[in-house]
Amino acid sequence: MRPSPERLSTDVLVLGGGGAGIAVACEARAQGARVLVLTKDPLATGDTRISTGIMAVRGSGDAGDDAARLAANMLAAGEGLGDPALVRAFAQDNPGAYGWLLASGLRPRRTPDGHLRLLHAPMGGHDARRSVPHPNGGLDIAAALGARALREEIDALDDTWALRLLVAAGRAAGALAYDARRGRLLEVHAGAVVLATGGLGALFAPHTDQCRGATGDGYALAARAGAALVHMEQVQFTPFGLTWPASSCGLAIGDPLIAGPRGVLLDRDGAVLAEALHRQSRAALAGLIGEALVQGRGTPEGGVWLDLGPNLGDEGWAEGVRAGFAKGLGRVRRAYGARAARFEEPWQITPTAHYHMGGVRADPDGASTLPGLFVAGQALGGLHGGNRLGSTSLSELIVFGRRAGRASARWAGLHPTSDVHAAAEEALAAVHAWMGPPRGSPVQLTRRLQSAAWRSLGPARTLDGLQSLLSELGALEEAARGLRVGECSTWNTRLIERAELESLLAVARQVAEAARTSPSQGAHRVVPRAVSQPSAPAPGTQALTVTIQRSAAAEALRFTWRGDHRPTALEVLQAAQAQDAPDLAFRYGCRTALCGLCTIEINGRPRLACRDRVKDGDRLSALSSLPALRDLVVERSAVRTQLAGRLPGTPAVPTTSPSAAHEALGRCIDCYACLEGCPLHARNPLEPDEALRWGNPCTFLHLQRVRESPGASAEVQQQAVSVAEELGLAACASCKGCRCGVGIRLVQDVIEPLLEARSVLRGTPPRV
């Protein structure tokens, strides 16, 4: 008996819950439309959250920085491939988009006279200083967007994968989706559908700094439904991604600006490959490195050397690194473990997949060539042409997210949901064909595909390599047809991996075919036949065995990991899934300790799997303070559930910088590790669902952040305290048991100030 989908209906269906998806949803909701967001990861995570948080804001540093000037910079950077209409729309709406974020609660640093603080120099390709960093990078932007979604009570379903678009009467009319949390299929009928699904960086994993969810779903869904794509060959590789050690492979260490005036690139023999790196575009540098690797001039580990040492005497460079890139560099340097990198020593780097300039062809309002289908964010193609100008992606999310939100709401008002029975039956039949007794491993096929894509679709391509990849894709597609994933059940990892493999196979073919027929331009560089690359010597191996707690105690998995270094918990989980347990369920996103998705317990203590290394005999299990869904996956909607409809109004836009306390609270990554020591949650005698009804440190942190925000009125502060009291602040014993994985002082900076404010409001002495 195959499962029948549950039917839902909405005006605007948004696929993707990152920055673009939230902007779409909020703007469509403001137009009076009913909105439903389906998102694979929790709302307000994804690449927006883990970004450096640097945004291009026209006019922020130069009175002469008008729309024409910004548009000219973008078109020049894109080497003439950018769509002028999209570029003009972006340049025109750019300041208003940043103002919308400020009104959502974003708090940038400011100069004493109230102006935005900017990077110390223009980023590559800009002819004006207009790039604005934020105290906690993308975390600040994601927090502001997430808070806005909460205030506007946007309906969203996390852990939900869109499998097919439904097309009826020649227009997009909904989607078939898998709700992993509840183990059900959904048939969603909608007046309009908006793709805000992000990019395709996962195609090149581990050579990417994008989240694992960037599997090109939007491109695959759109193409399958008949929408046109554009510039699919144009994949942006940021040039400075680590290639060694293995646990840090693909993590970016910064924009070319970080190289400073004296940084140089060296090949394996120490010969200079390039100088004046800070003045070159990402595409130019990535292509140059890629070509050197194809020519056999790379290190055995597949990289070249980035030497920043000559800059060490330059105070301006050092200040710029601290201002714009210090936090990101710190996270990446920790990935080295005991082999901590220093600026005095060259870093072994290779380009890493960072962004996709291609995507779904659309007009400035996000309307695709398929009526009723709209697109925003990285899923939108054509804006950046052959190279994206640094710091424009976060602004783009808001500009085109708001445009698509308004346009999709207007369309849905004129085109209510229609009969999609035939389309739904066809989509359901395709998904049912995947089901049956488990057979084959989607994970292993995905790893083969990612390895082949990196070899043939990386920053330098050969015609032979592209042809070889197309042949290999045929074999992988045939193997994928033989996979079976079991039945539709809660967090069916095989089903999830099968769906994402289908997307990755589709986009790999789209990129390869576009590259084979396109001339070298922008980020697409075709070079002569490759020279064999020297291979690294076989590393010494060490083995360690860990126990991975499955859903039932009897299913504990003992797994032996072998490699040349002490692995992170995430490396062990990935290896176990690929080798022994294709259905092992766990979460991860960024690999840089920013998204918080990979929190697990190691020997009973909450840890970030991407950051914490394991030793022989360790035990990996799910967070005990949240309801388990399957294996290491837990229910993560506690804070959003508790704050829905209760978050205080947005404080006024300040003219001063955020306080040190507000900046500190902005470091929260929603990892929920602070619940471990809370007596109301960790190993709680209450039923898990009942425990979630109590307030928790994460909830109070969000409320205190609003209260600490510059510009917060007395009314907003009082409302924050009142909500905290309503959600159980009084139950907190200030036992100092809650702990934070990123260094926030929860008791001193969150709990005690709220308790003191509560006492003042009630006219009672503060509790000691």
Percent of the chain with pLDDT over 70: 93
Residue type, 331: R
Residue 665 has pLDDT above 60, yes or no: yes
Angle at which helices 697-708 and 714-726 cross, to 10°: 170
Kindly report, as residue ranges, where domains of CATH 1.20.58.100 are found in the chain: 432-517
Q: Which residue has the higher pLDDT, 165 or 761?
A: 165
**Cα–Cα distance, 721 to 761 (Å, whole number):** 9
Q: Which residue has the higher pLDDT, 322 or 144?
A: 144
List pLDDT tens digits, range 369-380. Answer: 999 999 999 999
- Residue 7's SS3 state is strand
CATH number, span 432-517:
1.20.58.100
Kindly report, as residue ranges, where domains of CATH 3.90.700.10 are found in the chain: 235-352
**Cα–Cα distance, 407 to 415 (Å, whole number):** 12
Average of per-residue pLDDT across 226-244: 94
- Please tell me the pTM assigned to this model: 0.95
CATH number, span 235-352:
3.90.700.10
Instruction: Assign a CATH topology to domain 638-762.
Output: Fumarate Reductase Iron-sulfur Protein; Chain B, domain 2 (1.10.1060)
Kindly report, as residue ranges, where domains of CATH 3.10.20.30 are found in the chain: 542-634
H helix runs in 264-314, sequence order:
282-294
List pLDDT tens digits, range 170-196. Answer: 999 999 999 999 999 999 999 999 999
Average of per-residue pLDDT across 87-108: 97
Please determine, looking at this structure, whether the domain spanning 6-233+357-422 carries the CATH number 3.40.50.1820: no
* Per-residue CA distances from 54 to 20, 210, 281 (Å): 16, 16, 17
Average of per-residue pLDDT across 62-83: 94
Q: What is the model's pLDDT at position 534?
A: 65
The number of residues in the chain equals 768
**Cα–Cα distance, 536 to 235 (Å, whole number):** 27
User: 568 and 332 in contact (C-beta within 8 Å)?
Assistant: no
**Cα–Cα distance, 61 to 65 (Å, whole number):** 8
List pLDDT tens digits, range 422-454. Answer: 999 999 999 999 999 999 999 999 999 999 999
Could you tell me whether strands 35-38 and 6-15 are parallel, antiparallel, or unpaired per DSSP bridges?
parallel
**Cα–Cα distance, 375 to 222 (Å, whole number):** 10
User: 54 and 133 in contact (C-beta within 8 Å)?
Assistant: yes
Average of per-residue pLDDT across 542-553: 90
| 276: confidence class by pLDDT, cuts 50, 70, 90 | confident
Average of per-residue pLDDT across 736-750: 89
Kindly report, as residue ranges, where domains of CATH 1.10.1060.10 are found in the chain: 638-762
How many CA atoms are closer than 13 Å to the CA of 354, on its beta-carbon side?
28
Average of per-residue pLDDT across 576-589: 95
Closest CA to 220 of 158, 145, 165: 165
Thinking of the domain 542-634, which architecture would CATH place it in? Roll (3.10)
Residue 304 has pLDDT above 60, yes or no: yes
Q: Omega before 245 cis (within 30°)?
A: yes
Q: What is the model's pLDDT at position 338?
A: 39
Q: CB 339: neighbour CB atoms within 10 A?
A: 11
Closest CA to 256 of 331, 117, 354: 354
